[in-house]
Amino acid sequence: MRLLSKLTAPLKSSRPPPLDAGAPPRVWIEGVEPTVDGGAFPVKRVLNDMVDVGADIFKDGHDAIAARVLYRTPGATEFKHAPMNYDFNPDRWFASFRVDSIGLWEFTVEAWPDAFGTWLSDLKKRLAAEQDIRPELLEGARYVTRRANFLQSDVSLKLQGFARELGDETQDVTARVVTANSKELAELMLGPLAADEVTRLRPWFTIDVDRPPAAFAAWYELFPRSQATIAGKHGTFQDTERRLSDIAALGFDVIYLPPIHPIGETHRKGKNNTRVAKPGDVGSPWGIGGTSGGHTAVHPDLGSLEDFRRLVKRAEDLGMEIALDFALQCSPDHPWVKQHPDWFHVRVDGSIRYAENPPKKYEDIYPLNFWCSDRQRMWEACRDVIHFWVNQGVKTFRVDNPHTKPLAFWKWAIADVRKKHPDVVFLAEAFTRPKRMKALAKLGFGQSYTYFTWKNTKQELTDYMLELTGPMSEYYRPNFFANTPDILHEYLQRGGRPAFRARLVLAATLSPIYGIYSGYELCENVPVHEGSEEYLDSEKYQIRMRDWRARGNIRDDVARINRIRRENPALQQLANLEVLPTDSEHVIAYRRWQGDNELIIVVNLDPMAVHETMIDVPLAALGLSPSQTFEVTDLLVGISYTWRGVRNYVRLDPEDKVAHIFRVTR
Amino acid sequence: MRLLSKLTAPLKSSRPPPLDAGAPPRVWIEGVEPTVDGGAFPVKRVLNDMVDVGADIFKDGHDAIAARVLYRTPGATEFKHAPMNYDFNPDRWFASFRVDSIGLWEFTVEAWPDAFGTWLSDLKKRLAAEQDIRPELLEGARYVTRRANFLQSDVSLKLQGFARELGDETQDVTARVVTANSKELAELMLGPLAADEVTRLRPWFTIDVDRPPAAFAAWYELFPRSQATIAGKHGTFQDTERRLSDIAALGFDVIYLPPIHPIGETHRKGKNNTRVAKPGDVGSPWGIGGTSGGHTAVHPDLGSLEDFRRLVKRAEDLGMEIALDFALQCSPDHPWVKQHPDWFHVRVDGSIRYAENPPKKYEDIYPLNFWCSDRQRMWEACRDVIHFWVNQGVKTFRVDNPHTKPLAFWKWAIADVRKKHPDVVFLAEAFTRPKRMKALAKLGFGQSYTYFTWKNTKQELTDYMLELTGPMSEYYRPNFFANTPDILHEYLQRGGRPAFRARLVLAATLSPIYGIYSGYELCENVPVHEGSEEYLDSEKYQIRMRDWRARGNIRDDVARINRIRRENPALQQLANLEVLPTDSEHVIAYRRWQGDNELIIVVNLDPMAVHETMIDVPLAALGLSPSQTFEVTDLLVGISYTWRGVRNYVRLDPEDKVAHIFRVTR
C-alpha cells in the first residue's frame, strides 16, 4: 500500500495537471463508486457528508500503482485531490472527501504507474540480497530526472539536485542510498513521470449536494383556506400564520401548502368532486388560474403576496419552512390561455384541448403542450414560475404529477434552477410505475413520494425497505407520507386510531423524510364511499375547519416521535436499516444505527389485536456477547428493560402501546 | 402492445433515418442488455446466435411508445432493424436478431412517441362511447400530414392522400373511420412524425461475433519436439503430422503447440529448470529467438515453414486446427535484441535489462519495453508476428502471460488483427487476480484460462460455476484445461487414474471449451518434488517420448466424452447450468440443457472411495410430474435406468464408474 497523503508540493496547482488524452492508457480504472447508472446521473449527498470513493485499479505486471480522486466544488475550475489507498479487496482502491458546499460536485479517478516507488522497493530487496546496486542508482536518477523535466521549475530544480546526487558515481554508494530513501525525495516523486503516464477517467462523475433538510425532515400538509377559526369563513395566510407555533411545537420542519393561486371558475368541480359546482363552492386548488392571475398570483381570498411572504418569514423564525405545490396545468381561465393559446394543444378548429383519458373528460383542466412550437419560451415561463416563488423565499417545491410532463423538461428546469439556487429542493409527487419514479429521482428530484401507504404487511414493508435502502438510496430519497388528500388507505379506514399510531411510527422511523396531511393527527378515516381511498368531504373541493384538540387525537405521539427523530441520528439516515427476525407475522422489528446511537424499533402491525413475540437481536453487530445483559429504553414511554442474549420478548397492545422505539445501551 | 413487424415500407433506406441529436429526448431508454459495463466493451456471441435485446423504455403521460433495435453487420454503413415488443416486465421492451456473419456488430435502441397509434386507440374508445369524433378525424389527418412531410416523396404522396381522406369534412364519418383503420395507413404510420421525436441511444453497443469453435471446442496440447518415435530423437512437424489422425480419432478440435521458434542459447535452462543447461539440452520453447530467427522463424530441428504449413493443412483436412503460442518475450539471442535494442529496457550503461522479480533474476529472458520511445513501430512489429502466422493458416493463438504486457496493447492489437481477420481467436493464458483476467476478456480475448484446476471440492466447483455462468458469461469464455505443462494439481498427483477420469468429465461437461495437455490421457502424475505443481522431467525443458497405448491410459474415456459433447447440444453452451442438490459432499450433480436435449451429469469427486447419494431432479424444469417415471441413459456406458419423482439414487465407484452423463428421456 502506498500512501499519498503528503501529495502536495508538486501539485499545488489549482487545475488538473496536463495529461495526454490520446496516449494509450497505462492503468485500467473500472467500477467507480458511488455512481448512478455508471455515471449517467449524479449520486445524492447532503452538506458535510463524507463521500467514499472506490475503484478497481490495476495494470499489467508487478509494478506499483498510485491513484487519487480529483474533485471539484460546484462551478469551480479549481480541483482538490484525495490520495487513494489500496485495500484488502483485491485491486480495490479507496479515498474519501467531504462535500462542504451545496450544489453539483464533480469527481474522477486518476492513476499512474508508480515507477519510482517500484524502483525504491526493488532497491531495498537488492540491498538485502547484497547485489551490486550501482547500476540501479543510475536508473533511479533517470526516473527523478524524468519527473523533473515534467514538472514546473521550482520543484524541478530540487529534483534535478536529487538526480545528480543519486547518479554521482564519484560518491559513496551508502550516501547515495540515503538520498534514495530521503523523505523529501519520496514526496516530490509522488506523481507521474510524464503526462502520458496518467490515466484519468472521463467524463467526471457528479454528486448533487443538498442542504440537510432535503434528506431529513418531518412534513406537514395543510390547506390555508381551512385555517380560519370562524365556521364557513375562507381561511387566509394570516390564519395559517397563527397556527405555525402549534405546528412547530409538534416538531415539524416543512409545511407544505397545496396550490395557493387563483382557482378557475369554468367547469369548476363541486364538493366531493361533483361535476358542477354550486355557487359558493371553492373549487380545487389544482384548477390553477383565474381572472386575478395564474401561477405567480395568490388567491385573493388567501390574502396578499405580502401576507404570504410574512408567512414564509414567520415559519423561518420558528425553524420551519413553507413548501409550495408546483402543478403545471391550467384552468380554462388561466391568463396563459389567452396570452399563449399556442402553449396548449390547439385543435384544428382552434379550440384548446382539455384533459382527457378517453372516453373520460376533465374539462376544468387544460394540459400544457410541452412540445409546442414555442417550446423554448414556454419551458422558460414554467421555470420562471419557480424563480418567482424562490424570490418570495420558497426553497422547497412539491411537484404535482411530474410524470405527466416530459422527463426532459424536469431535467432541464431543475438543473437550471439549482445552478442559481442550489438550496432549492424538489419533491416528486409521482405515483406511477417504478422505473418512471426512479427516472425522475435520477434526473434531479431531491425527494420522491413512494408506495409506502400501500405497504402494510410485514413482508411488504420488509421487501420495500430492502429495495429503498439498496443501491437506489444513492439517488432516491423517499418521503413517507402516511396519508395525503388523495390517499386514505383501507388500513387506516378500518384500523382507526391504533392504525394511525402504528403507521405514524413506521413512516417516521423507516424513512428520514416523512409527512402527514392535516387531519391525520385527528385520525380522520371516513372515505367518500366503501372501496375508495378518497376522503368524504375532501378538502380538495371544500373548506374543512377542525378542532385540533378533538378527542382521540394523537398529537402527543406526533410531538414525541418528532423529538425522538431529532435526538437520534440513527433516524436521520436512510440506508442504515436491518430488519430483524420476529416470530410473529404481525410484528415487524428493525434496527437503525449511527455511530453509538443504536435503535431497535418494534411495531405491531395488527390494529385489532395484542401480539407478543420473541425478536432476534443482532448481538455481534451491537458489540454484545451472548451472555451479556443490556438495557433497552423505550423512548416513547421512557421505560427501560434488561435484555440478554439473542432472543427477547415483546408484547404490544394496540389500545396501549402500538410500538417500541428502543434505544440500546451497551 | 404494439407490433412493428411490418415496419418496412417507409424505412427501406439503408442508413439510420435522420434525427435531431440536439432535441430534448421525448422518450427515456435505459438498462439495455446485453451489454458489458454499460456498453464499454462488446458482448460475445458466435455465428448465427440470436441476440436478445432488452431495454427499459418509457415516457411521461399515457401515450403509446414505439421502439426498435437498429443493428449493423461488421463494417457496414447499412443497418437493419428489429421491432421491439413490450413485455410483462413493466416498461421492458424486447427484440431479437441473428448475427449471421463474424466480426464486430453494432446495435442500438431507438424509440419515439407513437402519436398515431395513441390517436387511433383513443378514436376507438370515443366511438364506443358514442362521442362526436369529427374533430378527432381532423387531428388524425394532421398526424398523417406531419409524417408525410417528414418522409421521402413516394411514401409522402400516399400519406397525403390518406390525410385528405381523413380530413375531408364533405365525406361520411363512417368512411373516414374506415380510412383511419386501414391496414396500409397503419403500416405507413409506423414510425416517428419528425426527426426530433426520435430518441436513439448513443454510442452504439457492440457484439463481437466469433466463429463457433471459439465457444465450443476440445483442445489438445502437445510439444512437437516430443513426437518422434525413436528415443532421443528431436521430433518434427512431420512426426506431429503422423499423430494427427490418432488425435482426431480421440475427438479433439484444436491442437495447441507451445512456441515452435528457435530457442536461445544464452543462459538456456537445463532439464528440470536447472540454471545451467548441459550440452544437448533443448531448452524451453518460451526462450524465443536464436541465430536462426525470432518470432516468425521455426526451430530448425522441427523442420521448415513449409512443413509447418503442411501440418496446418493436414489438421484442417481432419477437421481440426493448429493453435500457436504467442509469447511476447525474447531470449538474449533474439534478432530484435540486435536490430532494436531500444525495444527493450536499456539501462544507463547500455546493457539490456533481463527479467527480474528482485532479488530473483531470469537471465534467459529479455522482456520487451512496451512503452519505449519507438513504441508504435514496436507494437506494430508484435502485431505483424500475428499476421505472419495468420498467413501460414493459423487462426487461433494461445497468448502466453498477457497480463504482463499492457492491456492497452492487447486491446489495440486484437482489434487490429480481427478487423482484417475476424476469424482469429485469442486465448488468454493469464493466471492472475480476477479483475485482471476479466479485463483481458473484456478487451478482446475470445477465450480465457481459468482457476478450474484449483477448484476440486463440490463447494468450490459450485461457486465457481455460479460466477462463470452469470453476467460474466457475456464476455468471458472459460477454457477448462484439466492440466497444463505448468499445472499438475495435487488432486491428480494423489488421486491417480480415478482422479484423471473424474476431472476429465468435469472439464468436458462444465465448460464447452476444455483441453488436456498430452500425458493426461496416460495419467502422468509425478511432480518434480512434493508440494510442487510442476511435472518431474518437465517437457518444458526436455524431450519426452511416450507410449500412447501405455497400460492404464484413459483414451477410451476421452474419445467417448468428446463424442458425447459433439452429439449433445446441451454441452455446447456455457450458461445453461443448474447445480442439483445431492446428499453427499463428494458427489456433484448438475443439469445442462438445450432445446430437447436434457442432461444430468453426476461425478464422484472422491477418487479414493465409493459414494452413494440421492440427487434431486428438477422435475418442473424437465416438464415431469412427480408421479411420472422417466428414463435416464448413461451415455458413458449406454445403460438406462428408470427414475421417478424428485429424489433418485446413484452410486459411483472410482475404480469403475467415476461419473454418469445421463440423458433424460421424457
pLDDT of residue B6: 30
Distance from CA of B576 to the nearest CA of A (A): 27
Q: Are B433 and A91 in contact (CB < 8 Å)?
A: yes
Say if CB A110 and CB A93 are below 8 A apart: no
| Residue B577 to residue A593: CA distance in whole angstroms | 41
A residues 426-485 lying closer than 8 A (beta carbon) to B: 433-436, 439
- Window 497-526 of B: residues touching A by CB (8 A cutoff) are none
In the numeric block, the cell 468436458 is attached to B508
Dist CA B367 CA B268 (whole Å): 15
With a cut of 50, which residues of chain B have pLDDT below it?
1-14
Rounded to 10 degrees, what is the CA torsion of A405, A409, A411, A413?
Answer: -120
Helix intervals (H) in B273-392: 305-317, 335-339, 375-391
- Among B564, B570, B550, smallest CA distance to B659 is for B564
Q: Are B562 and B508 in contact (CB under 8 A)?
A: yes
- Whole-Å CA distances, A259 to A169, A425, A489: 83, 17, 23
Residue type for A515, please? Answer: G
- CB proximity B22 to A under 8 Å: no
Portion 206-225 of B in contact with A at CB < 8 A? none
A300-340 tens-digit pLDDT:
999 999 999 999 999 999 999 999 999 999 999 999 999 99
- The answer to whether the Cβ–Cβ distance between B25 and A56 falls below 8 Å is no
B544: closest CA of chain A, how far (Å): 32
Report the residue from A61, A62, A408 with minimal CB separation from B24: A408
B114 is catalytic: no
Alpha carbon distance B187, B178 (integer Å): 15
Which residue type, as a one-letter code, is found at position B313? K
The one-letter code for the residue type at B184 is E
Give the burial class of A432: count Cβ atoms within 10 A of its Cβ; 0-12 exposed, 13-18 middle, 19 or more buried: middle
A598 is catalytic: no
Residue A154: predicted pLDDT: 80
Give A-chain residues touching B90 at CB under 8 angstroms.
433-435
pLDDT band for A152, please (50, 70, 90 cuts): confident
The answer to whether the CB of B364 falls within 8 A of the CB of B332 is: yes
CA–CA gap between residue B191 and residue A609 (Å, rounded): 59
| Composition of chain B by helix, strand, coil, percent to 5 | 35, 25, 40
C-alpha to C-alpha distance for A602 and B394, rounded to whole angstroms: 69
Hey, is the C-beta of A56 within 8 angstroms of any chain B C-beta? Answer: yes
The burial class, CB within 10 Å (0-12 / 13-18 / 19+), for B77 is: exposed
Residues of A within 8 A of B24 (CB-CB) are 406, 408-409, 411-412
Separation in Å, CA of B60 to nearest CA in chain A: 5
Q: Residue B140's closest chain A neighbor by CA?
A: A348
The Cα–Cα gap between B67 and B645 comes to 45
**B439 with A28: Cβ contact below 8 A:** yes
Tell me how far apart the alpha carbons of residues B659 and B589 are, in angstroms, rounded to a whole number: 10
Give the end-to-end CA distance of chain B in Å, rounded to a whole number. Answer: 35
Give the phi and the psi of residue B139 in degrees, each rounded to 5: -60, -45
Cβ atoms < 10 Å from Cβ of B472: 19
In chain B, whose CA is at the least distance from the CA of A433? B90
A434 to chain B: closest CA residue: B90
Q: How many CA atoms lie within 13 A of B339 on its CB side?
A: 11
What angle (nearest 5°) sits at the alpha carbon of residue B331, between those of residues B329 and B334? Answer: 95
How far apart CA B25 and CA B200 sit, in angstroms, is 9
Nearest to A295 by CA among A381, A362, A408: A381
Q: What is the pLDDT of residue A9?
A: 33
* Cα B122–Cα B123–Cα B128 angle in degrees, nearest 5: 100
Q: How many CB atoms lie within 10 A of CB B438?
A: 20
Provide the shortest C-alpha distance from residue A71 to chain B (in Å): 23
pTM score: 0.93
Residue A83 and residue A66: Cα distance in Å, rounded? 8
ipTM over 0.90: yes
In the predicted structure, residue A234 carries a pLDDT above the cut 50: yes
d(CA A408, CA A203): 21
Answer whether residue A117 shows pLDDT above 80.
yes
The residue to which cell 382557482 is assigned: A263
Q: Model confidence over B77-122: pLDDT tens digits?
A: 888 999 999 986 778 999 999 999 999 999 999 999 999 999 999 9
CB B287 within 8 A of CB B264: yes
* Nearest residue of chain A to residue B359 (CA atoms): A126
Are A435 and B90 an interchain contact pair (Cβ–Cβ within 8 Å)? yes
Q: What does the DSSP 8-state code read for residue B636? A: T
Q: What share of chain A is helix, strand, coil (3-state, %, to 5)?
A: 35, 25, 40
The verdict on B168 touching A (C-beta cutoff 8 Å) is no
Contact at 8 Å (CB) between B633 and B607?
Answer: no
Here the cell at position A76 is: 469551480
CB atoms within 10 A of CB B206: 19
For residue B48, CA distances in Å to A506, B72, B370, B472 come to: 54, 14, 37, 21
Can you give the pLDDT at residue A12? 40
Indicate yes or no: CB of B404 within 8 angstroms of CB of A38.
no
Alpha-carbon gap, residue B11 to B123, rounded angstroms = 26
Nearest to A571 by CA among A533, A538, A599: A599
Per-residue model confidence (pLDDT) at position A75: 82
Contact A412 B60 (CB under 8 A): no
A29, A201 Cβ separation under 8 angstroms: yes
Q: A204-223 in b/e burial notation, b at 16+ Cβ within 10 A? A: bbbbbbbbebbbbbbbbbbb
pLDDT at A90: 80
- Cβ-proximal residues to A650 (8 Å cutoff; 6+ apart), any chain: A587, A589, A602, A612, A613, A614, A615, A660
Catalytic residue among A253, A281, A429, A598: A429
Q: Which of B239, B321, B429, B557 is catalytic?
A: B429
**Grid cell listed for A609:** 389485536
3-state secondary structure of A208: strand
Q: What is d(CA A585, CA A499) in angstroms, rounded to the nearest whole number? A: 16
Q: B319: how many CB neighbours lie within 10 A of its CB?
A: 10
Interface of A with B in 400-429 (CB under 8 A): 403-409, 411-412
| A58 to B439: CB separation less than 8 angstroms, yes or no | yes
Instruction: Give which of A254, A261, A255, A308 is closest to A284, Cα–Cα.
Output: A261
Rg over alpha carbons for chain A, rounded to the nearest Å, is: 31
| CB spacing of A37 vs B37 below 8 angstroms | no
Question: Distance (Å) from the C-alpha of residue A92 to the closest C-alpha of chain B?
Answer: 10
- Distances in whole angstroms, Cα of residue A104 to Cα of each of A55, A96, A408, A428, B564: 21, 17, 18, 19, 60
* pLDDT value for A22: 80
The size of the A-B interface in CB pairs under 8 A is 125
What is the spatial order of strands in the sheet that B217-221 belongs to?
Answer: B447-448, B425-429, B396-400, B321-326, B254-257, B217-221, B513-517, B479-481
Q: Rounded to a whole number, what is the distance in Å from the CA of B125 to chain A's nearest CA?
A: 6
Q: Which residues of A touch B405 (CB under 8 A)?
A: 60-61
